[in-house]
Amino acid sequence: MRIEDDADLMYGVDRANFSHTVDDEDRRTLEEWAGRLKLPVSDLEVFCRNGFRYDKIPPHDGPNRRSLLAHLKRRETPPSKWLLISGLYPEFLYSEPERRKRLRALYKAVVLLIRRALARQAADPFKDERTLYWDPIAEVCRDLEIAQSKLSSFCKEFCGSSLSQVVDCVRAERVKKMLRENLRAFMTRRAPPCATLAAKADENEDVWTVWSDLKKSRKWPAFSQNTWAMQLGFATYRRMYRACLAVYGQSPHQLEVALIRDLLDEAENVEKCEGSVAETPDMSLEEIQKLIDEVQVYTDQSMGSE
């Protein structure tokens, strides 16, 4: 029985029936598609035996399609999903620019799968069963049909971060928004009962005054950097620190100083109401799934000139 997610990242490969042959297909349709794809009928049969639908076969007779065809002829088994996405067939050597293009395609798919896994976790009614040390690495590797060590080495080669560090970088995408919300609440609490952020800004309050008050409010043992990181979704402060540097080029405390400045500047502008700071909206699970469904087999034209 096929489970619901079997359709994910199939890229036109019918894995439920990958032994399917063209004997059951209309011969005229086969020949029509062979002409449309500019493929010999025998080569088209190789794709069909490996579960490819006609409309999902790479349409251009370029190096990537020839590499894929050679791989299928050699193995006569459907390639793993990560191979379809990246086109990094082990039988061939690629130039560094070409290899980077293929790694980029794989990396983008990895990030989407991490986002989906984290969104599922957030919506899971049983999420309390998992500790803060859980991450979606096992799920991502199953989706891509690749070993964790192999995928981690690809990530390290592409961007300098291991697979677990890429997960932290995806988590860090929401850190700035959460820090802003926490700082806004703190600055509102520290104002006199009848005061507002705008009134405090009119007094030309300095960024470093607010920062000094924030530091004073954080006294050990009531405050710990690790528990602070846990509240923001990270297992340790060290992992959050590295992720913020990778994503924003700033440490968490440098981010806070910049956000304090932004909040004071916002309050000084009377044309803006409190809470009007523009934020990039979080993608819903449905939006992430739609992007995943659009991922295709790597082709020579798929990544363009990126």
**Concatenated DSSP letters of 165-203:** HHHHHHHHTTHHHHHHHHHHHHHHHHS-TT--HHHHHHT
Give the burial class of 219: count Cβ atoms within 10 A of its Cβ; 0-12 exposed, 13-18 middle, 19 or more buried: exposed
Range in 27-36, 69-78, 162-171, 253-262 the model is least confident about: 69-78
Domain ranges of the chain: 4-81, 175-268
The tokens describing 146, both together, are: 């690749």
Residue pLDDT, tens place only, 180-208: 999 999 988 876 544 555 555 445 568 89
Q: How far is CA 69 from the centre of its chain?
A: 29
pLDDT value at residue 3: 40
pLDDT, mean over the chain? 82
pLDDT of 275 reads 41
Which of 66-70, 75-79, 215-219 has the largest mean confidence?
215-219
23 CB burial (10 A radius; 0-12, 13-18, 19+): exposed
pLDDT tens for residues 74-120?
776 778 899 999 989 887 888 999 999 999 999 999 999 999 999 99
More confident site: 58 or 251? 251
Query: Three-class SS of residue 19?
Result: coil
Check residue 172 and give its pLDDT.
95
- Worst-scoring range by mean pLDDT, 201-210, 269-278, 293-302? 269-278
H-helix or E-strand containing 222? none
Structure tokens at 28: 């005229």
Helix (H, G, I), strand (E, B) or coil at 206: coil
Could you report the per-residue pLDDT of 117-132, keeping only the tens digit for each? Answer: 999 999 999 999 999 8
Contact, 52 vs 12, CB < 8 A?
Answer: yes
Report residue 166's pLDDT band, with 50, 70 and 90 as the boundaries. Answer: very high
Model confidence at 11: pLDDT above 50: no
pTM, full prediction: 0.72
